[in-house]
A = this chain, B = another copy of it.
């Protein structure tokens, strides 16, 4: 039931917005009573934090798995992380959109919790980039934090436009994106 409440809420929040969705709307969609809702969640805000935390924790554990794989080069790890972000938008587009759009509805304390995890994701990506700079796999004349934010921006933005039924698959989009980010768009070197 907990899962069902989350799924129904995600759908309603995306369609109508967090503020416009009442607990009554959520329980009506499921054909249960408010008591059922309150058995699992203290409030609508707690449910929102739960959605946020699950989303970011899923990303963090997948990122850790990728980063700890000693067999992969920095380039391969970057590809895997970008692929994960785009693939995740594909699989979990709704959570992603709610994550970015409804953040302001979290209490200060809960927002802090979510922000810490988001920051952790970014720091870990930056650590990977710094590792690549040290080893010479990545050039050293760029700011590691700007590189990190450029990669994150390119990949995260896909939640605005990526369609699983589009011309290219998530793997193809990730491949092209990582090619751009690592090798550049300039024709001077490849022509």
Task: Name A166's closest neighbour in chain B (CB-CB).
Answer: B145
CB distance from A68 to the nearest CB of B (A): 22
8 A Cβ contacts from A130-146 to B: 132-133, 136-143, 146
The interface centre, meaning the residue of A75, A146, A168, A185 with most chain B CB atoms within 10 A of its CB, is A185
Counting contact residues on chain A (CB < 8 A from B), the size range is 35 or more
CB distance from A184 to the nearest CB of B (A): 3
Instruction: Report B-chain residues with C-beta under 8 Å of the C-beta of A123.
Output: none
How many copies of this chain sit in the oligomeric assembly? 2
Instruction: Report B-chain residues with C-beta under 8 Å of the C-beta of A191.
Output: 136, 139
Cα distance A156–B155 in the bound complex, in angstroms: 12
CB distance from A143 to the nearest CB of B (A): 6
One of A28-36, A45-53, A54-62, A175-183 contacting the partner = A175-183
A19 CB contact (under 8 Å) in B19, B161, B184, B190: B19
Instruction: Report B-chain residues with C-beta under 8 Å of the C-beta of A6.
Output: none
Q: List 20 A-B contacts (CB under 8 A).
A: A17-B19, A19-B19, A101-B101, A129-B185, A133-B187, A137-B186, A139-B190, A139-B191, A142-B179, A142-B185, A143-B176, A149-B157, A150-B176, A153-B154, A153-B155, A154-B154, A156-B157, A180-B181, A184-B184, A189-B189
